[in-house]
């Protein structure tokens, strides 16, 4: 791990295109110094390469943070659906708290999606539904608006698929209450 941060390294990390006159002066002062050229080259080179190592380090941290974020979202999802199952098992629809207004079971609303299976592409292309391939979005839009139903029904199978979602818990915060203070009062957070 690098522990030295050169003054020039710090300066170039703050460089902006619209204000680079000071950077020119920095380069000149290094090149005009009484040090030998190998030290000058190392000083400039290591300062510039320091940016690459910082960028790589930040990329790694961002990657780790994104993975942590995904894991936390998944953990919350699992917790909410598992909690809803347990609440249902005990016949609980709602629990009220002091700091939390209530925890309720949020029953899923069924959603549906129109699925298009094309049987005869060429007839649809002749009518004008194409990009370089069949424009399924345009066909679905026409189907939903009621246009060209005879052509679409003759050349496609249209199905409606329903997605089943699981019940989840919903934590309702009490308005105007400091959650941390209430959790500390209950001994949940120290």
Q: Domain range spanning residue 103?
A: 93-107+166-186
Residues 53 and 125 in one domain: no
pLDDT beyond 90 at 62: yes
Q: What is the pTM of this model?
A: 0.51
Joined together, the tokens standing for residue 25 give: 């002066």
Residues 143 and 100 in one domain: no
DSSP 37-78: HHHHHHHHHHHHHHHHHHHHHHHHHHHHHHHHHHHHHHHHHH
Joined together, the tokens standing for residue 172 give: 């309702």
Note the pLDDT tens digit of each residue in 149-179: 899 999 998 888 887 777 766 667 767 655 5
Half-sphere exposure of 98 (CA within 13 A, CB side): 9
Measured N-to-C along each axis, helices 21-31 and 37-89 cross at an angle, to the nearest 10 degrees, of 130
Residues 103 and 116 in one domain: no
Note the pLDDT tens digit of each residue in 68-126: 999 999 999 999 999 999 999 999 999 998 888 899 998 888 888 888 999 998 898 88
pLDDT of 180 reads 53
């Amino acid at each position: 791990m690098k522990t030295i941060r050169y003054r020039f390294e710090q300066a170039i990390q703050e460089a902006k295109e619209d204000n680079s006159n000071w950077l020119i002066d920095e380069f000149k002062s290094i090149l005009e110094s009484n040090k030998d050229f190998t030290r000058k080259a190392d000083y400039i080179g290591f300062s510039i390469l320091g940016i690459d190592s910082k960028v790589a380090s930040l990329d790694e941290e961002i990657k780790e943070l994104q993975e942590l974020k995904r894991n936390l979202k998944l953990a919350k999802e699992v917790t909410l659906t598992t909690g809803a199952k347990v609440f249902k098992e005990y016949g609980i629809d709602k629990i009220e708290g002091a700091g939390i207004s209530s925890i309720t079971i949020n029953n899923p609303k069924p959603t549906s999606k129109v699925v298009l299976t094309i049987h005869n592409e060429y007839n649809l292309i002749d009518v004008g539904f194409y990009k370089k391939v069949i424009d399924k979005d345009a066909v679905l839009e026409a189907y939903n608006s009621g246009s060209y139903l005879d052509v679409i029904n003759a050349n496609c199978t249209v199905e409606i698929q329903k997605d089943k979602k699981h019940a989840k818990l919903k934590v309702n915060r009490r308005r105007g209450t400091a959650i941390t203070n209430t959790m500390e009062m209950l001994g949940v957070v120290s």
